[in-house]
Amino acid sequence: MRVQVIDLNEGDVLSRDTFNNFGLHVLSKGTTLQRYDIARLIQHQIDYVDINDKPTTQTPASRTIESTTSPKWLPTVEPIYKTAVSKFETLFSKALNDGEVDDDEVTATLQPLLSNLQLERDVVSMLLLLNTSDDYTYQHSVQVGMLSYYLATWVGYDNKESLQIGKAGFLHDIGKCRIDLDILNKPAKLTKDEFDEVKKHTLYGHEIITKSFDEPYLAVSALQHHERVDGSGYPHGLKGEEIHPVAKIISVVDIYSAMISERVYQQRRDLFDVLKELYNMSFAELDAFTTHIFIKHMIPNFIGKKVELVTGEIGVIVMTHPTEFFQPLIRIDENFIDLTVERGYEIKQVYL
């Protein structure tokens, strides 16, 4: 049967090879479509494809809503994620009491989660569904470990290296175990002395990890993840190439996770909007290459997500632009709004 690309759903199977208007082969007959395959078809401006017949007992719209609000990975990943957050709290306490952490315990906490992440690439759905307002410090560390793994693979590290970089992200804030909780959870603005104390977590983390591991870049990442390429960061005001490449990866995802999280002193912010802020920061504070790779790979995950525009209208992102990251094509009922053309429209919120 022949269907419009925008009506495709994950699990549909192509009944013939698909080519774009220039004759380039895009997808093969027999491909079981995933979200990224549908995004690829849209990016190639393919309007119709042929798929195997599918049951008519359920409309495409209802199938889309079901698969979006309850992804197949959720029952598996959610308990693993929550367990990792809980176990990190234990690691945090041991780091404070013993001055070091056990590599086997870190691996046992993080490995099940990263193993599942290798099979699931819809990072946006993960963050929307798994992110809660509880246990910020521990949850943030788990998120940064997850995102560091993803970004490492996108930058070009092999899977083994990416898993280690995920570990570096997981441990990046371990030095906060030595910071008074009253300071970490203070709802008001920190005093200068309090902020100076918080900044020491990079030094504490470097010390704890150095005692615990023989992999130097794990400790260096904890030390440097608040350094900025323009020299405005801490603790040593490093610039550009003085900052370790892995620390640059962790810097990007650390900021992203922190901004999208709800804390006692901060409302949770929209995932799409925070990517815009990262983009702006990439021209001074953050490494441009690393940041743009992160944004480039995150943006296609928004395809199929519901959006609320500043006008109050509700639509669905059906296509993203390869260079104008934040100006997608949106479907509202039977109408399409191309934000690269209709500049008066703006996305207010993205949700499932």
pLDDT digits (tens, 9 = 90+) for 284-332: 999 999 999 999 989 888 888 899 999 999 999 988 887 888 999 999 9
What pairs with residue 309 in β-bridges? 347
- Asked whether residue 130 carries a pLDDT value surpassing 50, the answer given is yes
The pLDDT score that the predictor gives to residue 267 is 65
Residue that wins the pLDDT comparison between 150 and 129: 150
The pLDDT score that the predictor gives to residue 24 is 72
What CA–CA distances, in Å, run from 76 to 32, 71, 80, 159, 333? 21, 10, 7, 21, 33
- Asked whether residue 234 carries a pLDDT value surpassing 60, the answer given is yes
- Asked whether residue 67 carries a pLDDT value surpassing 70, the answer given is no
- Asked whether residue 169 carries a pLDDT value surpassing 70, the answer given is yes
Left (φ > 0), alpha (ψ -120 to 50) or beta: where does 231 sit? left
pLDDT band at 43 (very low <50, low <70, confident <90, very high): low
Q: Which of 301, 294, 271 lies closest to 38, judged by CA? A: 301
Structure tokens at 281: 């920061």
- Asked whether residue 154 carries a pLDDT value surpassing 70, the answer given is yes
* % of the chain at pLDDT higher than 70: 89
The pLDDT score that the predictor gives to residue 121 is 62
Q: What is the pLDDT averaged over residues 14-39? A: 82
The DSSP-derived string for 36-97 is: HHHHHHHHTT--EEEB----SSS-HHHHHHHHHHS-TTHHHHHHHHHHHHHHHHHHHHHHHH
- Asked whether residue 213 carries a pLDDT value surpassing 90, the answer given is yes
What span, in angstroms and rounded, lies between the C-alpha atoms of 126 and 120? 9
pLDDT band at 136 (very low <50, low <70, confident <90, very high): confident
* % of the chain at pLDDT higher than 90: 54
The DSSP-derived string for 275-313 is: HHHHHHHTTTTS-HHHHHHHHHHHGGGGTT-EEEETTS-
Residue 214 identity? D
Structure tokens at 231: 């020299």
Cα four-point dihedral sign 302, 303, 307, 310: positive
Residue that wins the pLDDT comparison between 323 and 229: 229
- Asked whether residue 100 carries a pLDDT value surpassing 70, the answer given is yes
Q: What is the pLDDT averaged over residues 55-64? A: 40
Q: What is the pLDDT averaged over residues 131-158? A: 89
The conformation of residue 23, written as its DSSP 8-state character, comes to -
> Comparing 139-143, 261-265, 290-294, 329-333, which segment has the lowest mean pLDDT?
261-265
Q: What is the mean pLDDT of the chain?
A: 86
